[in-house]
Amino acid sequence: MIKTFRTRQICFFYISLLPVVKFFTMPSVLAGICGEDLWISALFNCLADFLTISVLYFCLRCENADFFTLIKEKFGTALSKTVIAFYTAFFLLKTVIPLCEEKDYVELTLYMTSPSVFTFMPVFSAIFFICLKKSRVIGRIADGVFFIAVAGYAFTFALSLSDTDLSAILPVGAHGLKSLSLGAYSSATWFNDGAYFLFFVGNFVKSKKDGLKILFSVALSSLLVLFFLVVFYGTFNSIAFRQRFALTEISKYTTAINNMERFDYIPVFALLFTSVFSLALPFYFACELSARLFNIKRFVAAVFACAPTAIFLIFFDEYFSTAENFILNIASGYFIFFGTVFPVVMAVIIKIRADKEKKYAVCEN
């Protein structure tokens, strides 16, 4: 079997593509729920993602197929189709908030006058184009944007640190476990990145110390998000929940910018460029799964994946707050189950079953 990905590409995928989608409205949402403890709520989700990917890797590292193919081989087509249907819905739901928040970000912060609703639509051309490509495109995107993303992170943090009051996040845990749990639950839509690893497991070229490299990249990705949240709250303190778009706000009060111009837009645009590819990820994997589920051509699957959100943005944009409340307050349980619980349980079951099959094979010989 020809492997689609390389370990390097998986590492770059988690470091460059996944943190940036958490830099728009998630910080203000968390700040509104649990104040200075926002980073602890995010930490819960980061640990869940790390656990999920660890279990998937160590249980399925000897397999030669992705998660969905393994389910088909070991449990039959019926269960496989059912699982694929649930994950298609998972990734379609995962497209809504990141896309809407970036659309609002671009329209409300980068334009002097109110733009048309169609201003953001060209982004769908890029997303649709990516959806038409084979799986190798994900690895190539990770390779291509890695240095741009890292430069954006470094420049943004460097500009922000001078105005950050780290004591603002103290005392730790002041809001109590209930608020921390609610924050972790409500922010689940931005996390549960272990679901992406379902496509990587068994489908990358093995090299030395794969597990260490992949888990290190996942940990680094989490640290970037946590550090961003700490810097964000350290900059705005008790009014952090009012700063809707953290990516722009976090560095705007830097002394150098006040004395010169807003050159912080250089890393902002670098991260915006990266975020376009990040936005495409749930669309791409929804397209991949719908093609398998309905046995349709890639073009039709791409239309199926992109059309619902495009229609929502054009005709029902005024209902975004309703959709956001539904996803944050209700659908978060769906993300947690299929992003963490189900993959972990199924990986352990597949591992146990594979060990039994090997044992029986040895006994028969």
Using the predicted structure, report yes or no on whether residue 265 has a pLDDT greater than 80. Answer: no
- Kindly indicate the confidence band of residue 317, based on its pLDDT and cuts at 50, 70 and 90: confident
Residues composing the chain: 365
Number of domains composing the chain: 1
Please enumerate in sequence order all residues whose Cβ is within 8 A of that of 335, keeping only pairs 6 or more positions apart, or say none.
Answer: 90, 93, 94, 188, 189, 191, 192
Domain assignment present for 306 = yes
Please, are residues 278 and 14 in contact by the beta-carbon 8 Å criterion? no
Domain assignment present for 2 = no
Using the predicted structure, report yes or no on whether residue 255 has a pLDDT greater than 60. Answer: no
Domain assignment present for 153 = yes
Question: Pseudo-torsion of CA 229, 231, 232, 237, nearest 10°?
Answer: 110
Domain assignment present for 227 = yes
Mean pLDDT to the nearest integer, 125-154: 94
How far apart are alpha carbons 228 and 220 in whole angstroms? 12
Give the CATH number for residue 312. 1.20.1740.10
* Coil vs helix vs strand at 44: helix
Task: Tell me the whole-structure pTM to 2 decimals.
Answer: 0.94
DSSP 255-305: HHHHHS--TTHHHHHHHHHHHHHHHHHHHHHHHHHHHHHHT--HHHHHHHH
Mean pLDDT to the nearest integer, 265-278: 89
The predicted-structure confidence for 13-30, as pLDDT tens digits, reads as follows 999 999 999 999 999 999
How far apart are alpha carbons 98 and 37 in whole angstroms? 23
Handedness of CA 274, 19, 248, 323 (dihedral sign): positive
Using the predicted structure, report yes or no on whether residue 257 has a pLDDT greater than 70. Answer: no
Q: According to the model, what pLDDT value does residue 321 have?
A: 84
The predicted-structure confidence for 74-98, as pLDDT tens digits, reads as follows 999 999 999 999 999 999 999 999 8
Q: According to the model, what pLDDT value does residue 193 have?
A: 95
The predicted-structure confidence for 101-138, as pLDDT tens digits, reads as follows 888 887 777 665 666 666 777 888 899 999 999 999 99
Identity of the residue numbered 86: F
The predicted-structure confidence for 191-231, as pLDDT tens digits, reads as follows 999 999 999 998 999 888 999 999 999 999 999 999 999 99
Mean pLDDT to the nearest integer, 258-270: 70
Domain assignment present for 97 = yes
Partner residues linked to 204 by β-bridges = 5
Using the predicted structure, report yes or no on whether residue 362 has a pLDDT greater than 70. Answer: no
Q: According to the model, what pLDDT value does residue 68 have?
A: 95
Domain assignment present for 5 = no
- Kindly indicate the confidence band of residue 282, based on its pLDDT and cuts at 50, 70 and 90: very high
Using the predicted structure, report yes or no on whether residue 40 has a pLDDT greater than 90. Answer: yes
What are the distances in angstroms from CA 342 to CA 65, 212, 333, 339, 345?
18, 24, 12, 7, 5
Q: Say which residue, 50 or 266, is predicted with more confidence.
A: 50
Handedness of CA 276, 190, 96, 240 (dihedral sign): negative
Domain assignment present for 17 = yes
DSSP state of 204: E
Domain assignment present for 4 = no
Please enumerate in sequence order all residues whose Cβ is within 8 A of that of 285, keeping only pairs 6 or more positions apart, or say none.
Answer: 87, 91, 196, 199
Angle value at C-alpha 326, between 55 and 174, nearest 5 degrees: 70
**Closest C-alpha among 135, 141, 145 to residue 284:** 135
Mean pLDDT to the nearest integer, 153-162: 86
Using the predicted structure, report yes or no on whether residue 271 has a pLDDT greater than 80. Answer: yes
Using the predicted structure, report yes or no on whether residue 151 has a pLDDT greater than 70. Answer: yes
Q: According to the model, what pLDDT value does residue 163 have?
A: 76
Domain that holds residue 278: 11-364
The predicted-structure confidence for 162-199, as pLDDT tens digits, reads as follows 778 888 898 898 899 999 999 999 999 999 999 999 99
- Kindly indicate the confidence band of residue 263, based on its pLDDT and cuts at 50, 70 and 90: low
Specify the pairing of strand 204-205 against strand 5-6. Answer: parallel
How far apart are alpha carbons 122 and 117 in whole angstroms? 11
